[in-house]
Structure 1
Amino acid sequence: MRILLITAAAVFALDQITKVIVVHLMGLARRGEIEVLPPWINFRMAWNEGINFGLFAGQSEWTRWVLIGIALAITAWVLQWVWRDRPGRWGLVSAGLLTGGALGNVVDRLLYGAVADFLNMTCCGIENPYAFNVADISIFAGAIGLVLFTGRKEMA
């Protein structure tokens, strides 16, 4: 379980540090957009009040608290699951990625009322209107890892 906790703490710290640097110190919240490696990578400020791709955004203040509750419930369920089933190293890393990312976005909702998204990537002439953050990447990677690296039992 130690690897899970270390991974979660590292993801949480990286997520919060990048948000402080990009959103506040670099002034993205004020500027709205900063070109990094145009046209492929840009910082584009987006305050996401909903879930992925802004789904359920703008509903009301209660949505914020429901989403915080859901994130905490899923985090608790994942922790209980891996504690009970004891997956291998990669299963624990995956759970740490998901947990650290979810808690990073929970902190944003508590502090700002919305998740601070700022990474925008475009490729191959396709303009991507969406932004995301380190926590979002970690949640996605952790969920995929849990699918790939857990649930297999050795056949005797």
Structure 2
Amino acid sequence: MSAFARLRPTLAIALAVMALDQGSKLALSRWLPEGERLVLAPFLQLVSVYNPGAAFSFLAQAGGWQRGFFLVLALAVSAWLLWLAAAREAGRMERLAYGLIVGGALGNAIDRLVHGAVYDFLLFHAGRWAWPAFNLADSAITVGVALLLWHQWRQGKQARHANEPPNETPT
């Protein structure tokens, strides 16, 4: 199988994630004015905020240099994951995970290029506790990383079982 044929499913997933992410951000940013909130449920609000930092607003107050850093990081990680997907036979779970991570990373990279910050709109909370606002790209990255970790755990478990000596019954 050619490298491009191996890469095709990962690219399709990444493009779908980017389209859904950018479409949701465009629709919500036009519909909900910046700084506004809409309560959807006792635990969920739609918000309209721009985050110049990374996850959990990491480096949000860093003065601007973080924009280029996170942009280069997203491009480098995306290139590396696409190379992994093309360079070897990856299973369906790995291709799905790579596609989710690449699509999410590039979706947020587009925001950094266009707006200088990432548009976030989902806010989950319980009482006074609130999860930092996030978007579909962040969700795709999180699910992709969780799938890769689960896949690695399963492979390690299978390898350990394969190396165990067989049970011998006394004769």
TM-score range, shorter chain: 0.7 to 0.9
What's the offset of the Cα at 1:146? Answer: 1.8
Greater displacement, 60-69 / 90-99:
60-69
Secondary structure of 2:130 counterpart = coil
Query: What percent of counterpart residues are identical?
Result: 34
Greater displacement, 57-66 / 97-106:
57-66
- 1:35 paired with 2:39, answer yes
Q: Which residue of 1 aligns with 2:85?
A: 82
Secondary structure of 2:122 counterpart = strand
Q: Specify the structure having the higher radius of gyration (Cα).
A: 2
Could you tell me the TM-score, scaled by structure 1's length? 0.88
- 1:17 paired with 2:19, answer no
1:91 touches 1:150 (CA, 8 Å); kept in 2? no
- 1:69 paired with 2:72, answer yes
1:5 touches 1:96 (CA, 8 Å); kept in 2? yes
Could you tell me the TM-score, scaled by structure 2's length? 0.81
1:98 touches 1:143 (CA, 8 Å); kept in 2? yes
Greater displacement, 104-113 / 137-146:
137-146
2:98 touches 2:144 (CA, 8 Å); kept in 1? yes
Counterpart mapping for 1:1-156 below 5 A: 1-24=7-30, 26-29=31-34, 32-37=36-41, 39-123=42-126, 125-128=127-130, 130-149=132-151, 152=155
* CA RMSD, Structure 1 to Structure 2 (Å): 2.0
Number of aligned pairs?
Answer: 152
- What are the ranges of 5 or more consecutive residues in structure 1 without an aligned counterpart? none
When residues 106 and 14 of structure 1 are mapped into structure 2, their CA distance, relative to the original with a 3 A threshold, is same
- What are the ranges of 5 or more consecutive residues in structure 2 without an aligned counterpart? 1-6, 164-171
Partners of 1:89 and 1:115 in 2: CA distance: 29
- Runs of 4 or more consecutive aligned structure 1 residues displaced over 3 Å after TM superposition: 150-156
Please tell me the residue identity of whatever aligns with 2:8: R
Partners of 2:147 and 2:87 in 1: CA distance: 17
Partners of 2:74 and 2:133 in 1: CA distance: 20
2:47 touches 2:123 (CA, 8 Å); kept in 1? yes
Q: Which has the higher contact order (CA 8 A, sep 6+)?
A: 1
What's the offset of the Cα at 1:126? Answer: 4.6
Please tell me the residue identity of whatever aligns with 1:12: M
